[in-house]
Amino acid sequence: MTEGNLQRLVLDYRNGEIVLRCLYRTQSLSNPGTKARAREVSRLARSGLQDALEALDSEAGAECVGTSGFSTREDILLATTPPDTAKLVKGA
Q: Kindly state whether residue 16 falls inside one of the protein's structural domains.
A: yes
Q: What is the pLDDT of residue 15?
A: 86
Q: Kindly state whether residue 88 falls inside one of the protein's structural domains.
A: no
Q: What residues make up the domain containing 45? A: 2-81
Domain tally, the chain: 1
Q: What is the pLDDT of residue 47?
A: 92
* Alpha carbon distance 40, 29 (integer Å): 11
* Whole-prediction pTM: 0.70
Q: Kindly state whether residue 86 falls inside one of the protein's structural domains.
A: no
* Alpha carbon distance 48, 1 (integer Å): 19
pLDDT in tens, 33-82: 889 888 889 999 999 999 888 888 877 778 888 888 888 788 777 777 66
Q: Kindly state whether residue 49 falls inside one of the protein's structural domains.
A: yes
